[in-house]
Amino acid sequence: MVQLTVNGQTHDIEAEPDMPLLWVLREQIGLTGTKFGCGIALCGACTVHIDGVATRSCVMPLSAIGAEQKIVTIEGLSPDGSHPVQKAWLALDVPQCGYCQTGMIMAVASLLETNPTPSDDDIDAEITNICRCGTYNRVRAAIHMAADGKAG
Amino acid sequence: MSLVQSVSRRNFIVGSGATVAGLSLGFHVPFLASASAQEAGANLPPEINAWVVVKPDGTIVVRIARSEMGQGTLTGLAQLVVEELEGDWSKVTTEYPPPGENLKRDRVWGSYSTGGSRGIRDSHDYVRKGGAAARHMLVAAAAEQWGVPAGDCAAANSVITHGPSGRTLRFGEVAEAAGRQTPPAEVTLKDPKDWKIAGKPLPRLDTVEKLTGKQVYGADLKLPGMLNAAIKACPVFGGTLVSFDAAAIEKMPGVKKVVKVDERSVAVVADTWWRAKAALDALPIAWDEGPNKNLSSADISAMLAEGLEAQEAFIGNSQGDAKAELARVQAAGGKVITATYAFPYQNHATMEPMNATARWTEDRCEVWVPTQNGEASLAAAAEAAGLPVGQCEVYKIHLGGGFGRRGNFQDYVRQSVSIAKQMPGIPVKLLWTREEDMLHGAYHPTTQAKLTGALDADGNLTALHLRISGQSILAAVRPQGMQGGMDPVVFQGLTASLPEGHLAYTVPNLLIDHAMRNPPVPPGFWRGVNLNQNAIYVECFIDELAHAAGTEPLAFRRKLMANHPKHLAVLEAAANGIGWDTPPAPGRHRGLGQIMGFGSYVAAAAEVSVEKGALKIHRIVAATDPGHVVNPAQVERQVEGSFVYGLSACLYGECTLAGGRMEQENFDTYEVLRMAEMPDVETIMLPSGGFWGGVGEPTIAVAAPAVLNALFAATGKRYRTMPLKNHELA
């Protein structure tokens, strides 16, 4: 048995050491806001924060995570959906099907922590999540809006 | 208001009978749960009619039969209903009526099929009538309560007012009595120019849950006692399952059962999906790879190339005598231009892989599934369950993308029921891996096209022959839609006069025909369907002809489009938007494309540059005339998104065969457009009224031709075989 700290709560996990964090979150802890898209860290739907850093959880084995590391999922990003990124997303009605959006929001929230006012080039380099519905232009606008809100 | 508080405004029908109701993640269960609650004496809000429920607190529940997969139909259809209802938009929520309920009620909600950009255009009339009828009944109930003529009363913003006395009643106060009123025999619908809710860029009704992780997709579903299944079908098309060694994995963690699903598939059922998948990966399986085990893309390409020259072909559009005129001009030493194009297989690649959850007992089968067609899911479930359809039910869940994959093709429903049938009484969720999704698609068909055109001395197009060779979707998927062996859908956008989509160009001698060549690869409806490649063939070749004629491409088109002012209007709007008449910045180059499809007129203008072999798409201006616009913000989103889908195919999309199976299994080899490559998109809406066209698909088709024509302007070269990733651009 190992311990994981997720969204500020400690969980005792009984699982194989090679089980990816994505499936620990979804099936052992019951947090399904983090999505399965590709399983090989290429689409970003499974993005969570580990100690503040955006991480694709589908290839991160349980054995690689220590109890002291702080994992944050979309469910823990804010208590009431009021994170600046979520607010910007709501203001611009960004999602279409929405399946990739929780991963997208987590990736953006992490980017803004390290780079509060990213340029378009920064966004191009850092936000590589796949959206098949095609929300990219609204994602970009919402990132700038969230950045401005934070600056103000 | 915080996001979380407003979550409670949303209701989705996902639960089922007594064992599940109330336990499935807080889902609302109106029909079956209502029945059991009514037995318990609860006072539940009665419906006014099939489309509208008004609760005592004034909450308006609009029933939506079509599926929400991101395209915004839930919001758009609700806008149409509530417009006629004269309801208060801030009190609106939606729910999906289960398809089994539709059958029991003589299909009161009409078609559940959500494809072909038909969500709004095929149901606007009856959903608006549903809203209008409910308004009549609410007004009649209030008038009855007051003892006044209904004609003296009117509804607005969920309040009924008696004109002479000024008395008012809220919808919620008369909803129960309204449900007992006789529905009006006829209703008059509003003129769209009087719309207050429809036609406005209202925010979507389903955004909040998508920002907090609370939106439940099929892949997220959790039912009490549920097990999870991972599946593998023979990766070679036409291959079958021979045997598997269940004993080898039975002791792996969580494994409950290994089952043969059908002739070609085996599944592992475990307590969690990850464990099911891990065990399946370790399962020794023997396949019979069948008759296609040596099939390659080169074989298919050769098969299609033969069709380009074949004598026999189905004719989709014919004027004058194109073959004779082309032969005459050729013999006379006139100008004859020929080019050959090709478009490969594509996978839908929805972000949420295919899935379905089923529970089977000897007398009932229930399926929870993200589906574009609840009724097709129900039919597949009943067939797989071996039960009468009346003993089955399907609960629809929001889709993590559809794009056509989740409509006709209910393979995952059949599989999930087959698995559940081998574990009676236990709900089992089947979830595909991305690899399974890529290997077992319903692929955008592959076609090739040979185009031949003749120009007279003045640069006029006197003859055009477009020969399409390749795969028919209908032949494989919906043979009852064939017309004397011909697949009419092959000619999307190319017909002479169909309101669904007709050719913009008037050519005195025209022949558009199809040599059907059907490789043993399952084809399907892929967002935009055959309009995608047809627009490339026609719009790029028209560009080639313009170049050969020495005429700039807009002027060349304009000459041929005199009889098609609506096509021309969107083309000119896109051209004006990009600044066609003024030169682009140094190093930038422009291209145009237009087409009609799914009942709408669409065009795009692209501005690109090519540096050191790298294409950059800077800017797109798109114009669309869908007749009516129900939510301009949604139209804008669909148009923007169309360029992501269309350009993904143009730049990267291709599924290739080797050894009878697809070579691409994930996003490492099946690349798609990402943020960095996304151009700015400006959307111009030109709704001209008088018809209802679709929005979700048509614009995809003009993405590639506009960019390919701009690429020619940049490089002087034509790239005629998709995708562009296979070419050196210079």
Nearest to B121 by CA among B592, B689, B653, B693: B693
* pLDDT over 80 (residue B611): yes
Complex-level ipTM beyond the 0.95 threshold: yes
pLDDT attached to residue B39: 42
pLDDT attached to residue B289: 98
Contact yes or no for A126/A118 (Cβ under 8 A): yes
Q: Please state whether beta strands A53-56 and A47-50 pair in parallel, antiparallel, or not at all (unpaired).
A: antiparallel
pLDDT attached to residue B46: 82
Q: Which residues pair with B229 in a beta bridge?
A: B269, B430
In this chain, the answer to whether the domains covering B43-212 and B297-346+443-726 adopt an identical fold is yes
Average per-residue pLDDT for chain A: 96
A16 interfaces chain B, CB cutoff of 8 Å: yes
**Confidence class of residue A1 from pLDDT cuts 50, 70 and 90?**
confident
The two three-digit tokens of residue B728, written as one number: 């050196």
Question: Hey, are the CB atoms on B211 and A45 less than 8 Å from each other?
Answer: no
pLDDT attached to residue B580: 98
Q: Report how many Cβ contacts below 8 Å link chain A to chain B.
A: 183
pLDDT attached to residue B44: 61
* Alpha-carbon distance values, B253 to A14, B257, B279 (Å): 11, 12, 8
- A 108-127: CB under 8 A from B: 123-125, 127
Q: How many CA atoms lie within 13 A of B309 on its CB side?
A: 4
Q: Does domain B218-291+354-431 match CATH 3.30.365.10?
A: yes
- Residue B166: CB atoms within 10 Å: 7
Closest chain A CA to residue B402: A97
* pLDDT over 60 (residue B16): no
Q: Choose among B71, B212, B401: nearest Cβ to A132.
A: B401
Q: Choose among B210, B228, B672: nearest Cβ to A95.
A: B210
- Residue A83: CB atoms within 10 Å: 22
pLDDT attached to residue A20: 98
* pLDDT tens-digit readout, B393-411: 999 999 999 999 999 999 9
Nearest to B92 by CA among B111, B105, B79, B110: B79
* pLDDT over 50 (residue B19): no
Q: Choose among B213, B633, B680: nearest Cβ to A93.
A: B633
Nearest to B595 by CA among B666, B442, B491: B491
Question: Hey, are the CB atoms on A23 and B349 less than 8 Å from each other?
Answer: no
Q: Which domains does chain A have, with CATH numbers?
A: 2-76 (3.10.20.30), 84-151 (1.10.150.120)
Closest chain B CA to residue A43: B667
* pLDDT tens-digit readout, B96-134: 999 999 999 999 999 999 999 999 999 999 999 999 999
pLDDT attached to residue B115: 93
Question: Hey, are the CB atoms on A37 and B351 less than 8 Å from each other?
Answer: yes
Q: Mutation test of the interface with chain B: which of A136, A143, A144, A145, choosing the one with the most B Cβ atoms within 10 A?
A: A136
Q: Which fold has domain B297-346+443-726?
A: Aldehyde Oxidoreductase; domain 4 (3.30.365)
A133 interfaces chain B, CB cutoff of 8 Å: yes
Contacts A33 to B, Cβ<8 Å: 212-214
Share above pLDDT 70 across residues of chain B, in percent, rounded to a whole number? 94
- Residue B201: CB atoms within 10 Å: 12
pLDDT attached to residue B629: 97
**Confidence class of residue B33 from pLDDT cuts 50, 70 and 90?**
very low
Q: Choose among A30, A98, A137: nearest Cβ to B640.
A: A137
- Residue B272: CB atoms within 10 Å: 19
The arithmetic mean of pLDDT across residues B554-564, rounded, is 98
Question: Hey, are the CB atoms on A132 and B637 less than 8 Å from each other?
Answer: no
How far apart CA B565 and CA B558 sit, in angstroms, is 10
A132 interfaces chain B, CB cutoff of 8 Å: yes
How far apart CA B667 and CA A42 sit, in angstroms, is 6
How far apart CA B262 and CA B419 sit, in angstroms, is 9
Looking at the structure, give the CATH architecture of the domain made up of residues B43-212: 2-Layer Sandwich (3.30)
pTM of the model as a whole:
0.94
Question: Hey, are the CB atoms on B274 and A38 less than 8 Å from each other?
Answer: no
Contact yes or no for B287/B234 (Cβ under 8 A): yes
* pLDDT tens-digit readout, A82-123: 999 999 999 999 999 999 999 999 999 999 999 999 999 999
Contact yes or no for B386/B204 (Cβ under 8 A): no
Nearest to B14 by CA among B95, B78, B69: B95
How far apart CA B474 and CA B442 sit, in angstroms, is 12
Question: Hey, are the CB atoms on A38 and B666 less than 8 Å from each other?
Answer: yes
**Confidence class of residue B671 from pLDDT cuts 50, 70 and 90?**
very high
* pLDDT tens-digit readout, B507-540: 999 999 999 999 999 999 999 999 999 999 999 9
Contact yes or no for B257/B422 (Cβ under 8 A): yes
* pLDDT over 50 (residue B357): yes
* pLDDT over 80 (residue B11): no
Beta strand spans in A44-142 (E): 47-50, 53-56, 70-72
* pLDDT over 90 (residue B214): yes
* Nearest CA-CA distance, residue A132 and chain B, Å: 7
**Confidence class of residue A150 from pLDDT cuts 50, 70 and 90?**
low
Question: Given CA atoms A128, A131, A137, A141 in this order, what sign does their dihedral have?
Answer: negative
Domain ranges of chain B: 43-212, 218-291+354-431, 297-346+443-726
* pLDDT over 50 (residue B25): no
Nearest to B231 by CA among B198, B179, B200, B269: B269
pLDDT attached to residue B10: 33
Question: Hey, are the CB atoms on A81 and B399 less than 8 Å from each other?
Answer: no
